[in-house]
Amino acid sequence: MMRLGVIGTGSITKQFIEAAQTTGHYQLAAVYSRSKKKATAFATEFSAGHRPAVGFSDLPDFLASEVEVVYIASPNSVHFAQAKAALLAGKNIIVEKPAFSTPHEMSEIIHLAATRGLFYFEAARHIHEPGFEKLQSSMPTANKIVGADFTYAKYSSRYDAVLAGEEPNIFSPKFSGGALMDLGVYLVYAAVSLFGSPEESFYRYQKVATGVDGRGTALLRYDHFDVTLHCGKINDATTSNEIYTTAGTIFTPTITGIEEVSHFERTSQTTTTNKITLADNPMVYEANRFAEMMNNPDDFQLGQQYEELVELSRQVNFVLTRLRHNSGLIFAADMPKD
């Protein structure tokens, strides 16, 4: 089993550790947090029946430990510095989405990983799930696509803090927060995975008091069709996700954790629904896929799949950045460094 180190002690980290341990490919070895007490408690919680994991509050000490792969789930704006430090320490990295704030950060990490013979993965879990793979296999050829509408909006409990005058990380421009980066990234990943990179992209958003987008609508323009994305952290949405074709409509209730894909056929006026069984913890699919690639570095087919994942990550980052910049949404990470 690979020795796993994690940066961050939030709920998403817990879910990934549980998924990783379920696969049988990873053993938690180290936890980093700014609080040594929190890191130690977290490490103890997930060490039952295994060699005890160690808690660290010093990043260099954490990276000097015997971990082989580091999962990074810290605030968005610090992903880059931590990912770079991990690669320089000889560790493979799995970076929670959105991996990086800018194309410059993305390019530097991809180049560094490649030159050091290490793996970089962006943890966009939904594209590895069987439901999304079923959606992909349902796609017609590009000339039969008319358009698509994707939505992911969920009211964030942290927005109450914004309304109270605070600036939580997830709503802070200093930490590369907001609706597009937190939830819109799922939609951009879906669109780029299914249709490729758009020729043009535009974003209009509703600004909250902290200066980031609370909700917004993106338009991705392709050669002969458009894709509309709706994301939000200050509202809830219940609409389905739809792909319009010359023959009808393909639709699914969600874009993550897909458990059914339906087809409406216009000529017969009938709808066929395919049900998909999803694991209790849907992060097992990405954890398994990443482990397979890391454990088989000389497999040609897996190597091709890895390069495709890296390029997809790069393209998604570029689209997210272009959407932000075209709408005037600027982060601290966009500013020139001294």
Q: pLDDT value at position 263?
A: 97
What pLDDT score does 49 carry? 62
Helix (H) / strand (E) containing 105: helix 103-115
Interacting residues of 153 by C-beta distance below 8 A, sequence separation 6+: 179, 183, 215, 230, 231, 232, 233, 235, 236, 237
Cis peptide before 75 (omega within 30 of 0): no
pLDDT along the chain (338 residues), means of 10: 96 97 96 95 81 93 97 97 98 98 98 98 98 96 96 97 98 98 98 98 98 98 97 96 98 96 97 96 98 97 98 98 97 86
- Distances in whole angstroms, Cα of residue 328 to Cα of each of 106, 205, 211, 322: 21, 10, 11, 10
286: left (phi over 0), alpha (psi -120 to 50) or beta: alpha
C-beta separation of 102 from 110 below 8 A:
no
C-alpha span between 81 and 90 (Å, rounded) = 14
Cβ contact 45:31 at 8 Å: no
CB 257 within 8 A of CB 282: yes
The secondary structure of residue 127, as a DSSP letter, is: G
Q: Check residue 336 and give its pLDDT.
A: 79
What single-letter DSSP state applies at residue 202?
E
pLDDT digits (tens, 9 = 90+) for 239-257: 999 999 999 999 999 999 9
